[in-house]
Chain A
Amino acid sequence: MMSGQRNHVARELGKFLEAFWVELPQAAAREIFGGAQDEISRAGWKAYDAWVGLSNEATNQLYANPLVGALTGAATEGLLRLQHLGNAATTAFFANLWPAVGLPTAAEFAALRSEIAELRDQLEPSATLVERAPAASYSAVREEGLKLVRNAHARRREAGNQDAAA
């Protein structure tokens, strides 16, 4: 497996060296002595692509290195253990002390935020449905609302007149 990775890197390194040290200078020389206008540009991009290919293969080989794997694994586990410990300690400490001051805890904030996000998610898809409520129903409701307001005014006026008469 590792030797396969090394072969890939060697192949990409070969491509890069050829593009950068052979083709690019040749293209520059040809352009100086009256070759095609964009030869340097094309050779430059080819060298860049070869560099990207080499970088990708080198990254893959780095990931496949057992030492890198062991270090990353240990670091991930260590960080997660610390975070777990920190969470437990914080929860134990603030669960009793913080509410005594009358302030919401971070967990309550987080719960509130996720509740709001869930509500938003539940509401949003209805807006993307193609079958939306027709505009006419809105004006009907609006009209109904105006009637209610007018009726309320009329009732208030009537009540005022009755009070005055009394």
Chain B
Amino acid sequence: MPLLNDIASHWLDGTVRMFEAVSRGYGSPATDPEPVTRYREVYRAGKVALRRYTPEVRMHRTPVVIVYALIKRPYILDLQPDKSVVRALLNQGFEVYLIDWLPPTKADTELGFEEYVGVELANAVHAVQQSEDVDQVHLIGYCFGALLALLYTATHPEAVRNLVTLTIPFDMGVREIGIYHLVDSMSELAVDLVTKVYGNCPAWMVNANFLSMAPVHHGLDKYVGLYRNAQRDGYAEMFELFERWMMSDVPIAGRLFRQLVIDLFKRNALARGEFRLGGQKVDLRRVSCPLLNVVAEHDDVVHPRSSLGLLEHVGSTDKANVTFPVGHLGAVVSGGAMRKLWPQIGAWLAARDFFEN
């Protein structure tokens, strides 16, 4: 019976964790764990806090700016010393900047893609350009952050040296993931009502959406997994951190939520070339810098087919898809990604930098 006892105990711990997250309103900078890698906050304005990580030996002139998603807190990119995208890049001699999106409050209901891309991200990149005395940066966007990075590159092509999109939700017409059908069944009126009732899309709604993607996994299988792997070195610590991150959802600004669900998801406006920023059609042909599009082969959040089509729409001549055999999160936390994928991304960036020291 230790099997049932242990699994029941893990399940109870998980349930307590969930209630605690609900009571504190899910994620916020105040609930982040201690950072694994030392950083300095070099810029904070609007909805952006910009973190700067400095390598022991800098080998590349152009700094890397990581555009994190607007969903959950960014510490997944620096979770443990040996599972850290930030460290993987630092170890290759890059100066790394990480965009930490500050959660929107009720006053931010009217923020949309125009503000997040044209003001917040543009200001953050400008801060990096000034701080580093460079004209261009390498942009790496993860998930929703990749979408923001792509839109930024299309509207500010002169500022981006190289673009790496990681698990980008680009072609939203792909309906291979079950929960997408439910989101699709949500009427435009319902989307408007969410913002009328709550102002922003609340964190609990975002969290519920993620949990619904794999209810058996979140309700039972992950605890069984913890029981089965309890003897593996570091597994329990990793599980704890990971679960904490899973409950670190933040609200999505009201107008951004409407644009995301109605324009990008239901109308698939970006892949159809109809997405507008501030009244102007976004022309992806203006993305002319080298582009590396990284696709997670077993992604169950953004289907690989959603990402793979991107290359056909951009103007870059130096472009490639890289498919890596991991899931959505495995691309940023798995040992395999740390050993193979991130060195490959670093080498790709280095080969396209201005000069090597």
Interface residues of A (CB under 8 A from B): 1, 45, 48, 52, 55-56, 59-65, 68-70, 72-73, 76-77, 80-81, 83-84, 87, 114, 117-118, 120-121, 124-125, 128-131
9 residue pairs, one from A and one from B, having the closest CB atoms: A60-B178, A63-B178, A69-B185, A73-B185, A80-B193, A55-B216, A77-B190, A124-B30, A130-B38
Given known A64-B178, A73-B190, A130-B40, contact A118–B105 (CB-CB < 8 A): yes
Q: Are A114 and B106 in contact (CB under 8 A)?
A: yes
* Minimum CB–CB distance for A135 against chain B, Å: 18
Interface residues of B (CB under 8 A from A): 25, 28-30, 32, 34-35, 38-41, 44, 49, 102-103, 105-106, 175, 177-182, 184-187, 189-190, 193-194, 196-197, 214-217, 221, 224, 228
Main secondary structure, interface of A, reads helix
Given known A59-B215, A59-B216, contact A80–B190 (CB-CB < 8 A): yes
| A52: contacting residue among B35, B189, B190, B216, CB under 8 A | B216
Given known A56-B214, A59-B216, contact A64–B181 (CB-CB < 8 A): yes
Q: Are A121 and B178 in contact (CB under 8 A)?
A: no
Given known A73-B186, A120-B30, A121-B30, contact A56–B106 (CB-CB < 8 A): no
* Minimum CB–CB distance for A67 against chain B, Å: 10
* Minimum CB–CB distance for B218 against chain A, Å: 11
Q: Are B39 and A63 in contact (CB under 8 A)?
A: no
Residues in chain B near residue A120, CB distance under 8 A: 28, 30
* Minimum CB–CB distance for A54 against chain B, Å: 9
| A73: contacting residue among B25, B102, B187, B217, CB under 8 A | B187
Residues in chain B near residue A69, CB distance under 8 A: 181-182, 184-185
Q: Are B185 and A70 in contact (CB under 8 A)?
A: yes
26 sampled A-B residue pairs with Cβ under 8 A: A45-B228, A48-B224, A52-B216, A55-B216, A59-B215, A63-B179, A63-B181, A63-B182, A64-B178, A69-B182, A72-B185, A73-B182, A73-B186, A76-B186, A76-B190, A77-B186, A80-B193, A83-B193, A84-B196, A84-B197, A117-B30, A128-B35, A129-B40, A129-B41, A130-B38, A131-B40
Residues in chain B near residue A121, CB distance under 8 A: 28-30, 102-103
Given contacts A117-B25, A129-B41, A130-B40, 18 further A-B contacts (CB under 8 A): A56-B216, A64-B175, A64-B181, A65-B181, A68-B182, A69-B182, A72-B185, A73-B186, A76-B190, A77-B190, A80-B190, A80-B197, A83-B193, A118-B105, A120-B30, A121-B28, A121-B29, A131-B40
What residue in chain B is nearest A120 (Cβ atoms)?
Answer: B30
Q: Are B49 and A125 in contact (CB under 8 A)?
A: yes
Residues in chain B near residue A45, CB distance under 8 A: 228
A-B contact count (CB 8 A): 86
What residue in chain A is nearest B193 (Cβ atoms)?
Answer: A80
What residue in chain B is nearest A54 (Cβ atoms)?
Answer: B216
Interface centre among A1, A48, A63, A87 (most CB of B within 10 A): A63
Q: Are A84 and B41 in contact (CB under 8 A)?
A: no
Interface centre among A45, A77, A118 (most CB of B within 10 A): A77
Q: Are A130 and B39 in contact (CB under 8 A)?
A: yes
* Minimum CB–CB distance for A108 against chain B, Å: 13
A124 to B34 CA separation, bound complex (whole angstroms):
11
A60 to B175 CA separation, bound complex (whole angstroms):
11
* Minimum CB–CB distance for A107 against chain B, Å: 10
| A125: contacting residue among B41, B179, B182, CB under 8 A | B41
* Minimum CB–CB distance for B291 against chain A, Å: 29
| B28: contacting residue among A52, A68, A117, CB under 8 A | A117
A64 to B180 CA separation, bound complex (whole angstroms):
8
A60 to B212 CA separation, bound complex (whole angstroms):
10
Residues in chain A near residue B40, CB distance under 8 A: 129-131
* Minimum CB–CB distance for B199 against chain A, Å: 10
* Minimum CB–CB distance for B211 against chain A, Å: 12
Q: Are B29 and A125 in contact (CB under 8 A)?
A: yes
What residue in chain A is nearest B37 (Cβ atoms)?
Answer: A130
* Minimum CB–CB distance for B346 against chain A, Å: 24
Residues in chain B near residue A76, CB distance under 8 A: 186, 190
Q: Are B217 and A52 in contact (CB under 8 A)?
A: yes
| B197: contacting residue among A73, A83, A129, CB under 8 A | A83
A84 to B190 CA separation, bound complex (whole angstroms):
11
Q: Are B216 and A87 in contact (CB under 8 A)?
A: no
* Minimum CB–CB distance for A31 against chain B, Å: 17
Q: Are B35 and A56 in contact (CB under 8 A)?
A: no
* Minimum CB–CB distance for B51 against chain A, Å: 9
Residues in chain A near residue B224, CB distance under 8 A: 48
Residues in chain B near residue A130, CB distance under 8 A: 38-40
Residues in chain B near residue A77, CB distance under 8 A: 186-187, 189-190, 193
A114 to B214 CA separation, bound complex (whole angstroms):
31
Residues in chain A near residue B194, CB distance under 8 A: 80
A65 to B181 CA separation, bound complex (whole angstroms):
8
